Amino acid sequence: MQPGLALAWLVLAVVLAWALAPGLFTGFSGVTGVPGNQLKAPGGVHWLGTDEIGRDVLARIIHGARYSLSGAFIAVGTGLVFGTLIGVSAGSVGGRTDAVLMRVVDIMLAIPSLLLALSFIIILGFGHVQVALAVGITSIASFARLVRSEVVTVRRADYVEAAFGSGGRFWAVIWRHVLPNSLTMVLAYAALQLGWAVLQISTLGFLGYGAPPPTPEWGLLIAEGRNYMMTAWWLTVFPGLAVIATVLAANRIGRSVERAVR
């Protein structure tokens, strides 16, 4: 395994461990501050310093991994499921159904993803789950386009035509032969989308549309620390590095999976 890929797996494994068992990595609370510990610089006790009300920054980042990763999985899952349904329907049925569905997909792809996510947040409301769903809805179009392309290719394969020729029912053949052989590249793309989802959710959290304070969501941590950039740079830099490292690791793994299945 290449060193860069091994490092990416290590970063993602650490972040996943933070999300699943934060108590194993820090004894500090992610939401409760300690009086007298306000704005302590990084040191021996607080490795990444403390914030304006005495909360340990490392503990906030560790506890925040749960929100960022869970939101990313919800977003990718939403895009994958509904995008697959649309793509399979368009690629399998064809004709007018394909034309109508793909025009809707084209419209969604023409709108910037962040603007589209904000539009859905207005409908769904503010909050962690709502932001994850909004980000997931914006990714439906890209999943649908990819699934449709894969389905059209597999649909023309000889073994699929043989299945139809032997009397197989339309949707039974699609379910048993076309769909499984169309999802390999789609699942690789889903791995690639994980980093994108973390970045989108952090961006919306930074803008104030995600989980409310004192939730230690990474985007919110960056937003709260920007008022102290001149006096407490660590409040913004370290959560930002956590986002960057996670996104780069997810992208590196996603691209390696994509290359492996081609």
**Hey, what domains does the chain have and what are their CATH numbers?**
54-261 (1.10.3720.10)
Q: Which residues contact 27 (CB under 8 A, 6 or more apart)?
A: none
Using an 8 Å Cβ cutoff, are 216 and 61 in contact?
yes
Within 10 angstroms of residue 207's Cβ, the number of other Cβ atoms is: 15
Q: Which of 119, 17, 110, 130 is nearest to 69 (CA)?
A: 17
pLDDT tens over the chain, length 262 residues: 688 889 999 999 999 999 999 999 998 998 988 888 899 999 988 999 999 999 999 999 999 999 999 999 999 999 999 999 999 999 888 889 899 999 999 999 999 998 999 999 989 888 899 999 999 999 999 999 999 999 888 887 878 878 877 777 877 888 888 888 888 888 888 888 999 999 999 999 999 898 888 899 999 999 999 989 889 999 999 999 999 999 999 999 988 888 877 6
pTM for the model: 0.91
Q: Which of 185, 73, 89 is nearest to 129 (CA)?
A: 73
Residue 141, CA distances (Å) to 49, 183, 212 in order: 42, 16, 29
Secondary structure in 3-state letters for 167-181 = CCCHHHHHHHHHHHH
Residue 232, CA distances (Å) to 50, 124, 146, 199, 240 in order: 9, 35, 45, 23, 14
pLDDT at 177: 80
Using an 8 Å Cβ cutoff, are 61 and 221 in contact?
yes
pLDDT at 167: 74
pLDDT at 262: 67
